[in-house]
């Protein structure tokens, strides 16, 4: 097993529903280690970079509106095979398809209102951690 670090964003729905403690607790119960955590307000520039793969789509303004309506919590989380294991804990991106017992199945609503973003590969995790954390902020 490989020790990895991934990026998690606790989205505005997690903030508004006061789910941050529950979600963090689920990650910690799996034995993952918090390497960095901070609350931040996202602006269109960082969202355009983060969602570059859909920034030219007609629904992109909805993503910007949703992801910037409250601050988010950015989290660098480490553990053995953390990228795949976190994605299993979260369940499918579409919360309506996520089984009960997963984070999205228990708390999510749909494709966007789905509690957390999580990196989907080691390459994405590295780029996303650099996007959301400055040098010296990940321990």
Which of the residues are catalytic? 117
Question: Angle CA(79)–CA(3)–CA(120) in degrees, nearest 5?
Answer: 75
What φ, ψ does residue 137 adopt, rounded to 5°? -95, -15
Q: Measured between alpha carbons, how far is 30 from 124 in angstroms, rounded to an integer? A: 22
* Residue 134 to residue 69: CA distance in whole angstroms: 23
Phi/psi for 55 (5° steps) reads: -65, -20
């Amino acid at each position: 097993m490989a020790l990895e670090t991934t990026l998690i964003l606790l989205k505005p729905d997690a903030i508004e529903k006061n789910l941050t403690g529950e979600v963090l607790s689920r990650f910690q119960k799996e034995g993952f280690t918090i390497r960095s955590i901070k609350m931040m307000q996202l602006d269109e520039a960082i969202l355009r970079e983060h969602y570059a793969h859909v920034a030219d789509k007609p629904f992109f303004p909805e993503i910007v509106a949703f992801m910037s309506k409250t601050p988010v919590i950015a989290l660098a989380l480490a553990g053995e095979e953390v990228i795949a294991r976190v994605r299993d804990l979260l369940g499918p991106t579409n919360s309506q398809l996520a089984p009960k017992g997963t984070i999205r199945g228990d708390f999510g609503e749909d494709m966007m209102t789905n509690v957390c973003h999580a990196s989907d590969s080691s390459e994405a995790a590295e780029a996303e951690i650099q996007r959301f954390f400055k040098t010296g902020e990940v321990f």
